[in-house]
Amino acid sequence: MIKKSVICILVFSFVLITACVSQATQNMRERQARIASAIASPGDQIVLIGDVSTSRTGIEFSLENRTTQTFNYGAAWDLAYYTNGTWRPVSDRPVSGGIAWILIGHWLQSGGIQQYQINWSWRFGELPPGRYMYIRGGWLGEDWNPDSVYALVEFTITADCHTYLP
């Protein structure tokens, strides 16, 4: 009886782990597709202006909306790194206690400029030196069509980058 219970627990554990790994792989594929779509059609609608300050755990920059409509977007950004001629998603860092999903809507009015200071250490950890891109998908105006317009911020982390923004 104990043998059967142990075998059932082991089989259930294996199935659960396999399902989690499969879901993580699917999420990474979806992120890869979204990143490829953003880079293929960035446009010149929501553009980086001014200087970019970076550290191993965060970034500070400003975006300008050069359209005649409001740019609507959520709280989440994605992060990619450049390797072997391709942009790839930065792997999420395992977070103890689970992940909190923030469902907040933001907007950048037509002609508006917004400054951002983002800390990604909670999701991605400390980044090694390399070429990176921060990506935000959104939509213009009243017609909700997520990820139809992208804001892209490319930057480099060097060996002498600070760990935190000043």
In a domain, 110, yes or no: yes
Q: Write out pLDDT tens, residues 19-64.
A: 344 667 888 899 888 888 888 876 789 999 999 999 999 999 999 9
Distance CA 112, CA 137 (A): 17
Assign residue 63 the CATH number of its domain.
Answer: 2.60.40
In a domain, 122, yes or no: yes
Q: Into how many domains does the chain fold?
A: 1
Position 1 scores a pLDDT of 62
Split at pLDDT 50, 70, 90, the class of 97 is low
In a domain, 48, yes or no: yes
Of the chain, the percentage scoring pLDDT greater than 90 comes to 54
Average pLDDT, rounded, for the chain: 83
CA–CA distances in Å: residue 151 to residues 12, 33, 46, 166: 43, 16, 5, 24
In a domain, 13, yes or no: yes
Structural domain including 75 reads: 2-157
In a domain, 166, yes or no: no
pTM of the predicted model as reported, rounded to 2 decimal places? 0.78
- Report the half-sphere exposure of 46 (CA within 13 A, side-chain side): 29
Distance CA 50, CA 38 (A): 21
Split at pLDDT 50, 70, 90, the class of 18 is very low
Tokens found for residue 9: 């627990």
In a domain, 162, yes or no: no
Q: Write out pLDDT tens, residues 119-129.
A: 999 889 999 99
Q: Put residue 116 in one of left, alpha, beta given phi > 0 → left and psi -120 to 50 → alpha.
A: beta
In a domain, 93, yes or no: yes
Tokens found for residue 39: 């880079």
**In which residue are the tokens 């760990």 written?**
163
